[in-house]
Chain A
Amino acid sequence: MFGLVPASTAAGSLGSLPALLAFSVTPMAHLKPLDIAVIVIYFGMVIWIGFYLKGRSNTSEEFFMAGREMTAWIAGLSFVSANLGSLELMGWAGSAYQYGILATHWYWVGAIPAMLFLGLVMMPFYYVSKTHSVPGYLQLRYGEHARILAAISFAAEMILMSGVNMFAMAVVMKVVLGWSIPFSILISAVAVAIYVTLGGLRSAIFNEVMQFVLIWGGAMLVPILGLVQSGGWTGLKTKIMANMHSDSYFHLWRDTGHFSANPMGTHWSGIVLGLGFVISFGYWTTDFLVVQRVLAAHNLRAARMAPIIGSFFKMAVPFIVILPGLLGLVLLQNPDKSPMKLVGEDVVKSCAVSASQDKIDDPGACATAMATKTTLPAAYQQKVLSGTSGVELHSYNQALPLMMVRYLGPGLLGLGITALIAGFMSGMAGNVSAFSTVWTYDIYKPLINKKGSDSHYVLVGRLSILIGVAISIGAGYLVQHAHGIMDYVQALFSFFIAPLLGAILMGMFWKRATAPAGFLGLLTGIVTSVSLFVWVKVDPTAIGTVALYPQATDMAANLYRALWAFLTTAIVIFVVSLFTKPRPVAELDGLVYGATILPKEDPVPFYKNVYLWAGLAVCVFAALNIMFW
């Protein structure tokens, strides 16, 4: 779920989430019985779906691949929903508050080209090879070593991500609603464990589609009402211009010609090559968490159409994520009706209030942080320092919940909170269902028990979900007590996904790529990425070399590190392949472009043609980028 981490989280703010627990928090909202009823009904429904689908998840094909029966719409919505976690919702709203519409790059250039490429070009090979997983494709193409390396790294990543996500969601629930951490973790983890263990991937997909609808139903009112109050889009622009004295908040590309010209400190080359190519293609075309949803489609045409359908919804997500962040810039108010200014998590941490003493732990550090890192008025800073009642600091990541509390009354607020919980649960279900498949097919079966019966592997899959959830909970608590670990866990994604993309693209589009080259390329790519990360940690000035700019943000460093890891993998595969013996072309049927005869699809009416819809998606994508240039 941290596939494409929000800018505010990538900058390390999640790393300070545990610090939020150290001080007393006044919950932002108090739920009424109607809100609680909405949430309870949601939990009842998702668990009931798990029980309902249990009888249809008896074979391994049904349990791990949902029987490959999903329509394009269901696979497409599930594909997008598995990525739409609560942290993404809140993190990107916070990023929009900080950086303006630049944050939209993660939804448009950082997703749409890759999703269309998956549907039009790569899906046929995944689908025709009948692989159960992405590591499974690597086994078919490069052999067992590459599969095991990819499977172990992916399984570890999924479980750790799930744990971190779970803990972060629980912290958010504590800050927003005052719920205790163990309560939030247990109730959501147990619900996910029940419905995925019972119904497998089918249950996960079923719930993801429902969660997608609830996310929209719960979150869409915030931008609608915000726009009404701010006088529409034109009114919003006018107010932001008046408040922020800059129109950079409304331009996607105009100010990316130089690192210092935009608040993100990034350059268009990093956005296009690092985000738009390596990270985006790596995530959307090789991360099994999302690819698994499309592999469950009922035929090749549906599998190709699913990411294309998903791309339209992905392009719409900024409406419920980015827009609330922008609206927060001009609409959020303190209790005394003065404009509210959100601050970074590091400032909130510096001004932490001791739960036992009810006063700021380190007033000096707090005063320095507010003076140097915020534009809070001096009078407000004094109120914070003196502990004036009702005066609090809120972080960027709280932009969306604050907007919800502003507009949503009883019932609607419950629906909004349900949207956040649904976002978390769809992400976690994606993590554990993908983990279960990779563990069973790519680790347990080849390394531990090759001759088990079909029912045995289903049992292993069910148990691995329960064990995976238990380890995730453990990882969540580990994070709570080891503050720095979250930075490293977030970096896991960039360690593995860029090299994986290099290995898969070289394998899928170059017949000459050999098995030893695939394994070595993957390994050296991972080692390169980890080494660059460690280098910058040990010597922070190295960021100038890694990210090509001394003042580059952590996020910009992530983009460039991914690019170098990808290039390393591709170059190693190219060079080693030239010195090793390739497989006969006949063995590459169904795996490699140019060596595969794709099955002929039945003729369909023009309005069901995948190229027509992909072309339309390209037009909408281009129009949006031009409109907000």
Chain B
Amino acid sequence: MHGSGIPIWFFIGVVLVIYGSMIFGYGVYEWQTGCYPPLVELTNLHTPVWWGGLLAALGTLYVVKFRPGRAK
């Protein structure tokens, strides 16, 4: 965004990194302990691990690419 200091994409990157890390971390815990939520389907796919990882990776990409002060 022109003239607004920190680009919006940086904010989005930060949010995705935070959410992705939290979900990924929980997914790993769930996988390790085998404590899956009882009413949730397809837990064998370990969705929090790959979806959390994907969000975190995407967020990291945005944070790096749009970090404040980075020359265009």
Contacts and interface: CB of A to CB of B under 8 A. Distances in A.
B1 A415 contact: no
A52 B6 contact: yes
Contacts of A229: 41-42
A585 interface: no
Contacts of B26: 34, 409-411
B61 interface: no
Interface in A197-249: 202, 206, 209-210, 213-214, 217, 221, 225, 228-229
Contacts of A406: 39-41
Interface string B1-45: 111111010011001101100110011001000001101111101
Given A56-B3, A210-B8, A412-B51, A228 B45 contact: yes
A628 interface: no
B55 to A, nearest CB: 6
B43 A70 contact: no
Contacts of A67: 3
Question: DSSP majority for the B interface?
Answer: helix
B4 A225 contact: no
Nearest to A217: B55
Given A37-B22, A206-B1, A407 B42 contact: yes
Contacts of B22: 34, 37-38, 411
A555 B19 CA distance: 39
B52 interface: yes
Contact of A412 (B5, B12, B18, B48): B48
A202 B3 CA distance: 11
A53 B7 CA distance: 11
Given A209-B12, A210-B15, A415-B19, A53 B42 contact: no
B4 A213 contact: no
A409 B16 contact: no
Nearest to B54: A217
A280 B40 CA distance: 39
A463 interface: no
A408 interface: yes
A41 B40 CA distance: 24
Given A37-B22, A409-B36, A298 B2 contact: yes
A69 B37 contact: no
Nearest to A49: B11
A300 to B, nearest CB: 15
Nearest to B37: A409
Contact of A45 (B11, B27, B30): B11
A90 B66 CA distance: 33
A74 B47 contact: no
Interface in A51-69: 52-53, 56, 67, 69
Contacts of B36: 409
Residue in B23, B36, B55 with the greatest tally of chain A CB atoms within 10 Å: B23
A405 interface: yes
B1 A71 contact: yes
A53 B4 contact: yes
Nearest to A42: B15
A213 B12 contact: yes
Contacts of B23: 34, 411-412, 415
Given A49-B11, A213-B16, A406-B41, A412 B47 contact: yes
Contacts of A70: 1-2
A16 B22 CA distance: 38
Contacts of B19: 38, 41, 217, 415
B2 A225 contact: no
Contact of B1 (A37, A38, A69, A228): A69
Among A52, A411, A415, max chain B CB count under 10 A is at A411
Contacts of A409: 26, 30, 36-37, 40, 43, 47-48
12 contacts: A41-B15, A45-B15, A52-B5, A52-B6, A69-B4, A70-B2, A221-B51, A225-B42, A225-B47, A407-B41, A409-B48, A411-B52
Interface of B: 1-6, 8, 11-12, 15-16, 18-19, 22-23, 26-27, 30, 36-37, 39-43, 45, 47-48, 51-52, 55
Interface of A: 34, 37-38, 41-42, 45, 49, 52-53, 56, 67, 69-71, 74, 202, 206, 209-210, 213-214, 217, 221, 225, 228-229, 298, 405-412, 415
